[in-house]
A and B are shown apart, each in its own frame.
Chain A
Amino acid sequence: MPPINSNEEIINIKNKNISLKTRLIIYLTLAITVCAGISIYFNFKILYQYISNNEIQSLQNLIRVDRGKIEEAMSEASIVTSSLAKDTNVINFLTNDSEYKEKNTPEIISLFNSYNKMNEYLAIYIMDTEGNTIISTDETFTGINFAFRNYFKSAKEGNTGLQADIGIVSKEFGYYFSAPIKNTDNTLIGILALKMNPQIVKDVLEKIKADSEASQITLIDNNNTIIYTDNKEKLFKNIGELNENKYNKILETKNFYQQLTTIKDPDNNKNLISISKIKETPYFIILESDMREVFYTITKNILNTSVITILASMLAILISSITVYNLLKPLKEIEKFAQEISSGNFLRLNTNRFKGEFKDISYALNEMSRKLKNMYKTMQESIEQKTQKIAIQLEEKQKSEVALMNILEDLDTQNKLIETRSNELQKFKMAVENTYDHIVITDTEGTVLYANGSVERITGFKKDEVIGTKAGVLWGKLMDKEFYEKMWKTIKNEKKTFTGSVKNHRKNGEVYEAHASISPVLNEKKEVIFYVGIERDITEEKNIDRMKTEFISLASHQLRTPLSAIRWYLEMLLNGDMGKLKEEQKTLVENVDKSNKRMIELVDALLDITRLESGKITVEPKPCNIADLLNEVLTDIGNRFKEKIQDIRVNIEPNIPITMIDPKLIRQVFLNLLTNANKYTQEKGQIEVTLKTGSNNKNLIFEVKDNGYGILEKDRAQIFAKFYRGQNIVKLETEGTGLGLYLVKIIVEASKGTVDFVSKENKGTTFTITLPIIEIVDIKPKDIKKISKVVKTKDKKTTIKQTKPKKPKTEEKIQSLI
Chain B
Amino acid sequence: MRKILVAEDDKFLLNIYKTKLTKEGFEVVTAEDGEEVIEKLNDTKYDLLILDLMMPKKDGFQVLEYIKSKKILKDTPIIIASNLGQKEDIDRALALGAQDYIIKSQTPLSELMTKINTYL
A residues neighboring B (CB under 8 Å): 557, 560-565, 567-569, 571-572, 575, 577, 600, 603-604, 607, 611, 616, 618, 620, 786, 789-790, 793, 796-797, 800
Pick the 6 closest A-B CB pairs, nearest first: A564-B104, A560-B83, A564-B105, A565-B12, A618-B87, A560-B105
Contact A560 B86 (CB under 8 A): no
> Can you list 20 residue pairs at the A/B interface with Cβ under 8 Å?
A557-B83, A561-B13, A561-B105, A563-B105, A565-B10, A568-B109, A572-B20, A575-B109, A604-B106, A607-B85, A611-B86, A618-B87, A786-B91, A786-B94, A789-B94, A793-B100, A793-B101, A793-B102, A800-B108, A800-B111
Across-interface contacts of B87 in A (CB, < 8 A): 618, 620, 790
Contact A572 B16 (CB under 8 A): yes
- Considering the complex, give the chain B residue whose CB is closest to the CB of A793: B102
B41 CB to nearest A CB, Å? 23
Among candidates A557, A562, A618, residue contacting B84 with C-beta atoms closer than 8 Å: A557
CA distance in complex: A577, B54 (Å): 28
Across-interface contacts of A789 in B (CB, < 8 A): 94, 100-101
Across-interface contacts of A604 in B (CB, < 8 A): 85, 105-106
CA distance in complex: A571, B85 (Å): 21
Contact B83 A796 (CB under 8 A): no
CA distance in complex: A565, B13 (Å): 5
B residues neighboring A (CB under 8 Å): 10, 12-13, 16, 19-20, 23, 54, 83-88, 90-91, 94, 100-102, 104-111
- Considering the complex, give the chain A residue whose CB is closest to the CB of B53: A557
- Considering the complex, give the chain B residue whose CB is closest to the CB of A577: B23
Contact A577 B20 (CB under 8 A): yes
CA distance in complex: A789, B102 (Å): 11
Task: Give 4 new A-B contacts, CB below 8 A, not counting A568-B20, A575-B109, A797-B111.
Answer: A577-B19, A577-B20, A600-B106, A618-B87
CA distance in complex: A790, B99 (Å): 11
Contact B16 A561 (CB under 8 A): no
- Main secondary structure on chain A at its contact with chain B? helix
Contact A564 B83 (CB under 8 A): yes
B98 CB to nearest A CB, Å? 10
Contact B19 A572 (CB under 8 A): yes
Contact A797 B106 (CB under 8 A): yes
A140 CB to nearest B CB, Å? 174
CA distance in complex: A89, B15 (Å): 195
Across-interface contacts of A571 in B (CB, < 8 A): 108-110
Contact B94 A561 (CB under 8 A): no
Contact B104 A561 (CB under 8 A): yes
Across-interface contacts of A793 in B (CB, < 8 A): 100-102, 107
CA distance in complex: A496, B87 (Å): 37
Among candidates A600, A618, A790, residue contacting B105 with C-beta atoms closer than 8 Å: A600
Across-interface contacts of B94 in A (CB, < 8 A): 786, 789
CA distance in complex: A223, B33 (Å): 155
CA distance in complex: A600, B104 (Å): 10
Contact B106 A565 (CB under 8 A): no
Across-interface contacts of B110 in A (CB, < 8 A): 571, 575
CA distance in complex: A145, B116 (Å): 192
Contact A797 B19 (CB under 8 A): no
CA distance in complex: A793, B103 (Å): 9
Across-interface contacts of B85 in A (CB, < 8 A): 604, 607
Across-interface contacts of B90 in A (CB, < 8 A): 790
Contact A568 B16 (CB under 8 A): yes
A561 CB to nearest B CB, Å? 5
CA distance in complex: A204, B105 (Å): 174
Among candidates B12, B19, B102, B105, residue contacting A603 with C-beta atoms closer than 8 Å: B105
Across-interface contacts of A562 in B (CB, < 8 A): 10, 12
Contact A790 B101 (CB under 8 A): yes
B14 CB to nearest A CB, Å? 9
- Considering the complex, give the chain A residue whose CB is closest to the CB of B10: A561
Instruction: Tell me which of A561, A568, A600, A789 has the highest count of chain B C-beta atoms within 10 A of its own C-beta.
Output: A568
B99 CB to nearest A CB, Å? 9
Instruction: Tell me which of B16, B86, B94 has the highest count of chain A C-beta atoms within 10 A of its own C-beta.
Output: B16
